[in-house]
Amino acid sequence: MEFMKNGKRIDDRLPNELRPIKFEVGALERADGSCYVEHGGNKIMAAVYGPRAVHPRHLQQANRAIIRYRYNMASFSVEERRRPGPDRRSVEISKVSRQAIDPVIIKEFYPRSTIDIFVEILQADAGTRSAGINAASVALADAGVPMRGLISSCAVGKVDDTVVLDLVKEEDNYGQADMPVAMDVRTGEVTLLQMDGHLTLDEFEQALELSKIGCASIADMQREALIRKYRGKEDE
């Protein structure tokens, strides 16, 4: 498969260009915090409940809140119907996504409680874990959870020996490498880094730099979306 033509990718983007992204804060009425995101072909809803009482009780920690993160793909989110329920892949993604967000949350403010994060993938087109983390981070802020910063995430990879930002499904499936990265952009602290495929050391460093640029643009969009929630209401 040929991915690069005249310096442009299959969907006409430049190698360092993100797909169009749209955040909608507070999309769910009854969640404590929520965020709906459209990231290229991905459509994702994130909901946050809590801090609230922990069930089952034995999971509770006496000195801090616990964080639970559930990443779930809807059965209709991909071309071929997916069997509903957690599988090995989504259990792993739930775990790494939780670990990506966990370091910025001030858990000590809420002992003996839980903060539950639900990320539902309604439509998938590569980079769902990254887009899910972005939405979850905004939903946490919307819920009023104290955090040191927002976590932003995007994928980088390699197609036709070119390092590219924010892969689409074809690039992810048939490309040479895919590497999701999550970070707190202000401190530069990387909280998630996975890689599938092969990159040389030089390419890896180039990809990591590119992901920082991508995450920085996403961080701006997340911030802007949160501010707009209260600005927008002014007009009513």
Partner 1 sequence: MKKQEKLDKTIVVPGDLLSEDATKAAEGTYVENGKVYSLTYGLADEREKVRVIPLSGKYLPAIGDVVIGMVSDVSFSNWKVDINSPYEALMHISEYPRRIESSEMAKIMGVGDLAIFKVVDVDPSMKIELAPREGQLRVLRSGRVVEVSYTKVPRVIGRAGSMISLLKSKLDVNIFVGKNGRIWINGKAEDEDLAIKVIKRIEREAHTSGLTDRITKLLEEEKHGVHEKR
185-214 residues near partner 1, rule: CB under 8 A: 186
Closer CB to partner 1, 101 or 155, in the complex:
101
Q: Which stretch binds partner 1 (CB under 8 A): 73-81, 103-111, 117-125, 154-162?
A: 103-111
Geometric angle at alpha carbon 165, from 179 and 191, rounded to 5°: 45
For residue 89, state whether it binds partner 1 (rule: CB under 8 A): no
For residue 153, what are its two tokens?
Answer: 């995430």
Total residues at the site for partner 1 (CB under 8 A)?
36
Closest-CA residue to 117 (of 129, 131, 135): 135
Distance, CA of 87 to CA of 166 (rounded, Å): 25
Q: How many CB atoms lie within 10 A of CB 174?
A: 10
Q: Is 153 helix (H, G, I), strand (E, B) or coil?
A: strand
For residue 32, state whether it binds partner 1 (rule: CB under 8 A): yes
Residue from 112, 160, 193, 213 binding partner 1 (CB under 8 A): 112
**Contact indicator for 147, 100 with CB cutoff of 8 Å:** no
Residue from 59, 89, 197, 230 binding partner 1 (CB under 8 A): 230
HSE-CB for 34 with a 13 A CA cutoff: 12
Q: Which stretch binds partner 1 (CB under 8 A): 16-24, 84-92, 136-144, 175-183?
A: 136-144
Q: Which stretch binds partner 1 (CB under 8 A): 79-87, 123-131, 148-156, 200-208?
A: 148-156
**Residues linked to residue 38 through DSSP beta bridges, in sequence order:** 22, 43
**Residues linked to residue 153 through DSSP beta bridges, in sequence order:** 182
Q: Which stretch binds partner 1 (CB under 8 A): 2-10, 77-85, 135-143, 203-211?
A: 135-143
Distance, CA of 167 to CA of 86 (rounded, Å): 24
For residue 57, state whether it binds partner 1 (rule: CB under 8 A): no
Q: Which residues contact partner 1 (rule: CB under 8 A)?
A: 32-33, 50-53, 62-63, 104, 106, 109-113, 141-150, 184, 186, 222-223, 226-227, 230-231, 233-235
